[in-house]
Amino acid sequence: MSFVARHLLPTALIGAAALLMLGFFAVARPQYHAPNQGEQIKVPPEHPATAGWTWAEGTPGFKAGTMLGKHHDFNITGVQPVEVAAAQLAAAHSMLDAEGVRVLDALRTDMSGPVAILAAPTIGRTPIETCLAVMLRGSAPVTWRCPHDLLDTHVLGAVVAARFSTGLGHPLFVLRVARADVARIVLVGGPAGSGPIYTRGTTWGQFEASTAPRKSVKLLVYGDHGLLQKLTLGDPPGGQQIFG
C-alpha cells in the first residue's frame, strides 16, 4: 500500500502529482517508516495467489485498522474499521464471513473516503473460498464476487480520477489485484511511454499505479506464456470505475 493510502496529506498528493509529470509510477511493497519516527515497520510476508483466486494461506489482507510497529501505532491498512462496515454488511448478505473481511489494498485521493480491494472467506461451504470486492469512495454500493464469478477476470480493481489537477489534467490512479496466472502487467501510453507496474512476487497480487490521463492508456496483462488481456483506461464516469 502506498503512503498516500494511509496518510491523506496535501504533501503526499503534491508528491504524487510531481511523479505524474514524469509519466507514471508503480507502488511496490516496501518496508514502511512510521510517521515522524525512525522506526522501520516490518510487514508480514505476502504471497500471490497459487491457483486462480486462491491463496495458500487463506484469505489475504489485513483487518481494517490493523496496527503495526513497536508501539502498535501504525495503521498498515490506512482504513478505519467503520469505513468497511457497509462492505461487511454486504458480505453477510452474500453468505460470507463479515468478521473475516480483510483489506488487500487501499488508496485515498480526497476526503470522500478510501478506494479499497477487500477479501472475505465464504461460510457454510466446503472448501472455503476467498471472495473479493472493490469498495469505491463515497457511498457506492459494494458487490462481492467469488471465484465462480471471476472465471474470465485476470485482474480486478478500480481506476479513480483524482479531484485535484496538474498541468496535464486530473491524474488517474489504478488499484488492482491480479490472479495467479498473471506474471506481469505493463502500462502503455503514459506521458513517458510504457513500463511495468506489476510483477508477480512478494505481494498478494495487489498493485497501484498512477498516470496523467491520455486517450489511449492501456494495461497489457501477461501470463507466463504471453499476453492474456488488454485493458483500456480512461477518465471514468463519475470519477471512479470498477474494472474486471
15-32 confidence digits (pLDDT tens) = 343 333 334 434 434 344
Q: Average pLDDT, stretch 133-147?
A: 96
Percentage with pLDDT > 90 across the chain: 57
| Neighbour-count burial of 225, counting CB atoms closer than 10 A to its CB (0-12 exposed, 13-18 middle, 19+ buried) | exposed
At residue 31, the pLDDT reads 41
Percentage with pLDDT > 70 across the chain: 78
Give me the residue label for grid cell 511511454: 193
Grid cell of 23 as nine digits: 509519466
pLDDT at 141 over 60: yes
Please name the residues in contact with 82: beta carbons below 8 A apart, sequence gap of 6 or more.
Answer: none
Provide the terminal-to-terminal Cα distance of the chain, rounded to the nearest Å. 20
Q: What is the pLDDT of residues 158-191, one digit of tens each?
A: 999 877 666 656 688 899 999 999 999 999 877 6
Residue 116 identity: A
Residue 20 identity: L
Average pLDDT, the chain: 82
pLDDT at 199 over 50: yes
Dist CA 54 CA 49 (whole Å): 5
Q: How many domains does the chain have?
A: 1
pTM: 0.84
Please give the helix or strand (H or E) that residue 13 lies within, else none: helix 10-21
Q: Are 131 and 98 in contact (CB under 8 A)?
A: no
**CA nearest 84: which of 119, 45, 124?**
119
Q: Are 34 and 68 in contact (CB under 8 A)?
A: no
Number of alpha carbons in the 13 Å side-chain half-sphere of residue 63: 8
Dist CA 149 CA 152 (whole Å): 8
pLDDT at 71 over 60: yes
Q: Provide the domain limits for residue 162.
A: 3-243
Q: How far is CA 114 from CA 77, 135, 206, 232, in A?
A: 10, 8, 16, 23
